[in-house]
């Protein structure tokens, strides 16, 4: 009694008619986007585009450990439930993102040691996966385990548990869900080089040890420099291991203000990204890290850069949107 459910105000621009549907043009590949939980709640235009354009959704932050369990034992599933309910309602796949990552962990996890940490990580994987069961078919089990030089990143997991934490996470995930696609996701490993080589060696080692891994995700956070040389060949060598690959977080950050030439160059980079995936039969999905400049992580994390997505802040299509649509239709 007396508790008034706050009615959320509808905000944001209305959706404008787009010249097509990305998801309908993509054949049997999934086209996805990261979803901003606030926009999902407050912005009808945003929701309309999500429904019309995408066959897959990834919670941008709502399934990160710091959001799910800010204090030990106080678990808050609201945002994650909202995303999964929405996806169910609209027949979309969900990429669960992400179970074990150095970033966005609650302070209490970062403070754990040794065996206790190991048990807590296992429990976190189990409870999160079991809550959603078949409703989440793909999981980024491990995210960003490497530094750019190919050394393991010094996360709490690496420091306390040693190299074996990656294997342990995949084995735990398989026990929690026998059918889910289990992914290893990495940033900045698109081109051949120390990081990508380390990732490749790790995948081979996991496979040799019988560790259940189904796919490798390449985030594809690009800039005006375009897609790196060797992108396609690099994805192909992973696919040749008998795995699926995926583009999991594509965006193209530009220096602000971005002029027409920069936006055209951006469109080509998005096109190349999509075409690279389409050229590889085992590349199953292309996910963008947000689809409108209203909600993109770039301005907050890379000051002076932005306009990194397909639609502008008013949900109008940029050249990038048109080039992605065209590339999908040419498939
Ligand atoms: C980012 C989100 O977009 C931001 O909102 C948040 O503040 C930080 O994390 N690689 C990943 C994503 O795997 O989870 C990150 O998302 C971007 C880089």
CB 309 within 8 A of CB 291: yes
pLDDT at 331: 85
State percent of the chain over pLDDT 90.
97
CA angle 294, 305, 217 (to 5 degrees): 75
| Ligand 1 neighbourhood includes 219 CB (under 6 angstroms) | yes
Instruction: State which of 142, 218, 248, 297 you would mutate to test the pocket of ligand 1, scoring each by most atoms of that ligand within 8 A of its C-beta.
Output: 297
| Ligand 1 neighbourhood includes 143 CB (under 6 angstroms) | yes
The mean predicted confidence, pLDDT, of the chain is 97
Cα(299) to centroid(ligand 1), Å: 12
Cα(121) to centroid(ligand 1), Å: 20
Q: Which two tokens stand for residue 184?
A: 């290893």
Catalytic residue among 60, 144, 167, 186: 144
Run of H or E including 305:
strand 305-306
Cα(256) to centroid(ligand 1), Å: 20
pLDDT at 7 over 70: no
Q: Which two tokens stand for residue 137?
A: 């078919």
Handedness of CA 253, 55, 76, 41 (dihedral sign): positive
pLDDT at 2 over 70: no
CB 305 within 8 A of CB 253: yes
pLDDT tens digits, one per residue of 185-230: 999 999 999 999 999 999 999 999 999 999 999 999 999 999 999 9
pLDDT at 272 over 70: yes
Chain position carrying tokens 């951006």: 266
CA angle 121, 127, 130 (to 5 degrees): 130
pLDDT at 61: 98
pLDDT tens digits, one per residue of 242-251: 999 999 999 9
Cα(222) to centroid(ligand 1), Å: 14
Write the DSSP string, 172-236.
Answer: HHHHH-SSSEEEEEESS-SSSSHHHHHHHHHHHHHHHTT----EEEE--EEETT-SPTTHHHHHH
Instruction: Give the closest residue to 227 by CA, choosing from 245, 255, 243, 250.
Output: 250
Whether 9 is catalytic: no
Query: Taking residues 260-282, what's their average pLDDT?
Result: 98
Q: 8: pLDDT confidence band, cut at 50, 70 and 90?
A: confident
Instruction: Give the closest residue to 141 by CA, choosing from 33, 215, 78.
Output: 215
pLDDT at 262 over 50: yes
pLDDT at 72 over 90: yes
* DSSP type of residue 60: S
4-13, 16-25, 282-291: the lowest-pLDDT one: 4-13
| Residue nearest atom 4 in ligand 1 by C-alpha distance | 297
Kind of pairing between the strands at 215-218 and 244-255:
parallel
pLDDT at 5 over 70: no
Q: 1: pLDDT confidence band, cut at 50, 70 and 90?
A: very low
Instruction: State which of 38, 61, 100 you would mutate to test the pocket of ligand 1, scoring each by most atoms of that ligand within 8 A of its C-beta.
Output: 61
Instruction: State which of 289, 291, 303, 305 you would mutate to test the pocket of ligand 1, scoring each by most atoms of that ligand within 8 A of its C-beta.
Output: 289
Give the CA dihedral 120, 124, 125, 127, nearest 10 degrees.
130
For the packed helices 114-132 and 78-89, what is the interaxial angle rounded to 10 degrees? 30
pLDDT at 53 over 80: yes
pLDDT at 6 over 90: no
Cα(60) to centroid(ligand 1), Å: 6
| Ligand 1 neighbourhood includes 60 CB (under 6 angstroms) | yes
Question: Among the atoms of ligand 1, which is closest to the Cα of residue 221?
Answer: 18
**How many Cβ atoms sit within 10 Å of the Cβ of residue 314?**
13
Query: Taking residues 283-293, what's their average pLDDT?
Result: 98
| Ligand 1 neighbourhood includes 297 CB (under 6 angstroms) | yes
Q: 34: pLDDT confidence band, cut at 50, 70 and 90?
A: very high
| Ligand 1 neighbourhood includes 187 CB (under 6 angstroms) | yes
Instruction: Give the closest residue to 269 by CA, choosing from 287, 254, 258, 281.
Output: 254
| Residue nearest atom 3 in ligand 1 by C-alpha distance | 297
Give the CA dihedral 327, 185, 88, 45, nearest 10 degrees.
-60
Residue 181, CA distances (Å) to 133, 134, 177, 245, 316 in order: 12, 11, 9, 11, 34
Whether 275 is catalytic: no
Chain position carrying tokens 């235009």: 45
**How many Cβ atoms sit within 10 Å of the Cβ of residue 8?**
10
pLDDT at 3 over 80: no
Cα(137) to centroid(ligand 1), Å: 21
Question: Among the atoms of ligand 1, which is closest to the Cα of residue 101?
Answer: 13
Buried b (16+ CB within 10 A) or exposed e, 147-176: eeebebeebbbbebbeeebbbbbbbbbbeb
């Amino acid at each position: 009694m007396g508790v008034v459910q706050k009615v959320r105000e509808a905000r944001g621009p209305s959706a404008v008619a787009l010249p097509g549907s990305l998801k309908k043009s993509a054949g049997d590949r999934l086209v996805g986007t990261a979803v901003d939980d606030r926009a999902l709640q407050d912005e009808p235009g945003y929701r309309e585009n999500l429904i019309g354009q995408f066959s897959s959704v990834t919670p941008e932050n709502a399934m990160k450990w710091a959001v799910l369990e800010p204090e030990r034992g106080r678990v808050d599933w609201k945002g994650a439930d909202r995303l999964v309910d929405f996806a169910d309602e609209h027949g979309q796949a969900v990429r669960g993102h992400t179970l074990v990552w150095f970033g966005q962990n609650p302070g209490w996890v970062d403070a754990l040691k040794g065996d206790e940490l190991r048990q807590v990580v296992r429990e976190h994987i189990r409870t999160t996966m079991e809550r959603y069961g078949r409703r989440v078919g793909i999981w980024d089990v491990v995210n960003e385990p490497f530094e750019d030089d190919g050394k393991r990143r010094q996360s709490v997991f690496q420091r306390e548990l040693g190299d074996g934490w990656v294997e342990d996470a995949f084995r735990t995930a398989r026990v929690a869900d026998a059918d889910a696609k289990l992914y290893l996701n990495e940033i900045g490993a698109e081109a051949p080089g120390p990081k990508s080589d380390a990732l490749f060696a790790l995948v081979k080692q996991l496979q040799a040890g019988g560790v259940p891994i189904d796919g490798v995700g390449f985030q594809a956070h690009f800039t005006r420099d375009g897609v790196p040389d060797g992108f396609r060949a690099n994805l192909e060598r992973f696919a040749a291991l008998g795995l699926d690959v995926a583009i999991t977080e594509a965006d193209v950050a530009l220096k602000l203000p971005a002029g027409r030439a920069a936006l055209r160059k951006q469109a080509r980079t998005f096109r190349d990204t999509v075409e690279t995936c389409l050229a590889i039969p085992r590349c199953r999905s292309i996910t963008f890290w947000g689809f409108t400049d209203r909600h993109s992580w770039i301005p907050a994390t890379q000051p002076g850069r932005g306009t990194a997505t397909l639609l502008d802040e008013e949900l109008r299509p940029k050249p990038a949107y048109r080039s992605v649509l065209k590339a999908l239709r040419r498939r």
